[in-house]
Structure 1
Amino acid sequence: MTSDMTARMLRLLSLLQTRREWSGADLAERLHVTVRTVRRDIDRLRELGYAVDSARGHAGGYRLTSGSGLPPLLLDDEEAIAIAVALRTAAGGLAGIEESALRALGKLEQVLPQRLRGRVAALQTSLAGIVWEERGPRVDPALLATLAVACRDHEIVGFGYTTRHGTGTPRRAEPCHLVDSGGLWYLLAYDTGKEDWRLFRLDRITDVLPTGRRVPPRPVPGDDPAAFVAARLSAAPTRYRAVATVHAPAEDVRARTRGLATRLEPIDDRTCRVNASDDHLPRIAQTLAGLDSDYTLDADPDVLTHLRTTAHRTLRAIRP
């Protein structure tokens, strides 16, 4: 009897973690019990430290919310493996999170079942990360977490934003997705003041204020947030212009490079055009070096000066 109740409560907790809100009838149907039993199990979860809100009426239901402390989390095997590997290999572009990630990893590995430890160890020893350079401004993990919750809950937020020209403006938006592109984090959101979709760099966002107002999910144009963000980034103005005409088929260049999906344009069967424009000169040089083919370049003087300086430095280094 006790084992049945424990298994049922674990199943109930798993259901509450997968959806924002459940009605008592839906939970009872999933668990094959009565609504009254669901209410008793909810009370037991509350005694264990889980903050479960409930609302009465036809539209009422149960939802798992944040409490004063962190209760135990229920993870299946694949989720536990994913978190362990992510803690080991992640934290790129996030300020001050490395030590916290390692502490969390230590706690997780301590309680991992033996059958999973071997799989995690194999993945960790097979993965390696290469940091070629400091890829961009570091992002505050607390800011990332706050915006992630707003995206999940479709909650309107207000914040201060500094444009690429250094002008600070108050903004109000409906967060949709968080995107990491080349070490820079972006918030894809619907700007309620501009009445249009906008991309906001997280390192330029300050003073995020959740409003408590939730709105229905707004569909992203094209139904593909990643493609939409990539297209916006490729079309966005940059500080330095650099466009390469590459003497190789577009398919070959795409196979050898990463993150150039919407910045690569076929010209004919043997040539293509790559827009390597960026706000960061070393990143332009890195993109061009990754083309691994001959190309001609149409670029701003500052770009050409940087490339010449880098090339001369390389030549001096390889001379006998």
Structure 2
Amino acid sequence: MKKEERQQKLVYLIQQLEHVTAAELAEHLNVSKRTVQRDIQEIESKGVHLQTHLGKKGGYRIQSLMNNNDLTLSDGEVYALYLVLKESVSLSTLPYQQEISAILDKLLRHPNVALRQTIQHMNRYIRIEQHTPMLLPSLFSAIVVYCQERKVMALEYRSDSSQQLLVENVVFIGLIVELGMWYAIVYHIGGGYTKKVKVSEIVDISYSFYKTIHTQDITLDNYHLYLQQ
């Protein structure tokens, strides 16, 4: 069975059975549980929203369009979320300023009257002085995807020392933050070593070879063992 056909059947099974586990889906499709989990990740990336239930009786069901982003938070968690996001508008270099502002606006219009009033009071009596941080490039979100794919990418960035524009074939391993500075950890294909590249210095990224490189043994926990000498 081809992957596309299998994924279509997987969605059909979830719809028909209403609530089904990965093990049950694997049995229906005659594949491994891991294959089912990979298929579900791909299906969700295509826009199909699934509810995941944890625990012994955990499983999957299709979300309705009305509640596909429902998230239950305690009052304290709502307050903390509001303050963290309010602070991040001023301090964060991440390219999600509009999204953060949209969430803050939704919190200020929270349907729970008591919560809404408390958040509005916080908004009135807590001020975080604004400054204009240098935002990371909009391709930040794409880098997160590339870290998962482990495909060979042509990375174009400026050298710290000379500001020379460099182009290298790399595989993205992950992202780290040191003293407020975001770095991409990459594996250099030609050199066989890892290196840190400032995300703010990245100019462009494109697929170089349409294949996945086996670098799963290199992680954010051990990348320093492979650093360029």
Which residue pairs with 2:217 in the alignment?
Answer: 218
Residue of 7, 12, 16 corresponding to 1:40? 16
Letter in 2 for 1:62: I
Cα displacement string for residues 198-255 of structure 1 (whole angstroms, at most 9, x for unaligned residues): 101112112222566445533337x267xx59xx8xxx9xxxxxxxxxxxxxxxxxxx
Which residue pairs with 2:167 in the alignment?
Answer: 170
Letter in 2 for 1:157: M
Contact 2:155-2:204 within 8 A present in 1 as well: yes
| Secondary structure of the structure 2 residue equivalent to 1:219 | coil
Would the alpha carbon gap of residues 98 and 190 (structure 1) be closer, same or farther in structure 2, given more than 3 Å must change? same
Contact 1:154-1:215 within 8 A present in 2 as well: yes
Contact 2:86-2:104 within 8 A present in 1 as well: yes
Contact 1:77-1:116 within 8 A present in 2 as well: no
Matches within 5 A, 1:113-262: 113=112, 137-140=134-137, 142-164=138-160, 165-210=162-207, 213-215=211-213, 217-220=216-219, 223=221, 228=224
Q: Which structure's CA Rg is the greater one?
A: 1
Letter in 2 for 1:147: I
State the shift of 1:65 in Å.
0.8
- Unaligned 5+ segments in structure 2 are 1-5, 19-28, 49-64
| Secondary structure of the structure 1 residue equivalent to 2:157 | strand
Q: Percent same amino acid at aligned positions?
A: 13
Contact 1:150-1:210 within 8 A present in 2 as well: no
Cα displacement string for residues 78-112 of structure 1 (whole angstroms, at most 9, x for unaligned residues): 7x746544422214353775454212321244346
Q: Tell me, in whole angstroms, the C-alpha distance in 2 between the residues paired with 1:210 and 1:84.
A: 38
Q: Tell me, in whole angstroms, the C-alpha distance in 2 between the residues paired with 1:218 and 1:101.
A: 35
Cα displacement string for residues 282-313 of structure 1 (whole angstroms, at most 9, x for unaligned residues): xxxxxxxxxxxxxxxxxxxxxxxxxxxxxxxx
- Give the superposed CA RMSD: 4.7
State the shift of 1:62 in Å.
2.4
State the shift of 1:188 in Å.
1.4
Which residue pairs with 2:40 in the alignment?
Answer: 62
State the shift of 1:182 in Å.
3.1
State the shift of 1:179 in Å.
2.3
Q: Tell me, in whole angstroms, the C-alpha distance in 1 between the residues paired with 2:12 and 2:199.
A: 46
Which residue pairs with 1:275 in the alignment?
Answer: none
More moved, 196-205 vs 142-151: 142-151
Q: Tell me, in whole angstroms, the C-alpha distance in 2 between the residues paired with 1:169 and 1:205.
A: 10
Q: Tell me, in whole angstroms, the C-alpha distance in 2 between the residues paired with 1:124 and 1:152.
A: 38
| Secondary structure of the structure 1 residue equivalent to 2:109 | helix
Would the alpha carbon gap of residues 134 and 99 (structure 1) be closer, same or farther in structure 2, given more than 3 Å must change? closer
Q: Tell me, in whole angstroms, the C-alpha distance in 1 between the residues paired with 2:212 and 2:117.
A: 43
Q: Tell me, in whole angstroms, the C-alpha distance in 2 between the residues paired with 1:204 and 1:192.
A: 20
Which residue pairs with 1:87 in the alignment?
Answer: 85
- Unaligned 5+ segments in structure 1 are 1-22, 28-34, 43-55, 237-320
Q: How many residues align?
A: 180
- TM normalised by structure 1 equals 0.42
| Secondary structure of the structure 1 residue equivalent to 2:135 | coil
Cα displacement string for residues 169-197 of structure 1 (whole angstroms, at most 9, x for unaligned residues): 21222222222333422111222222111
Q: Tell me, in whole angstroms, the C-alpha distance in 1 between the residues paired with 2:71 and 2:212.
A: 28
Q: Tell me, in whole angstroms, the C-alpha distance in 2 between the residues paired with 1:215 and 1:119.
A: 51
Q: Tell me, in whole angstroms, the C-alpha distance in 1 between the residues paired with 2:167 and 2:30.
A: 39
Which residue pairs with 1:248 in the alignment?
Answer: none
Would the alpha carbon gap of residues 102 and 134 (structure 1) be closer, same or farther in structure 2, given more than 3 Å must change? closer
State the shift of 1:130 in Å.
7.3
| Secondary structure of the structure 2 residue equivalent to 1:102 | helix
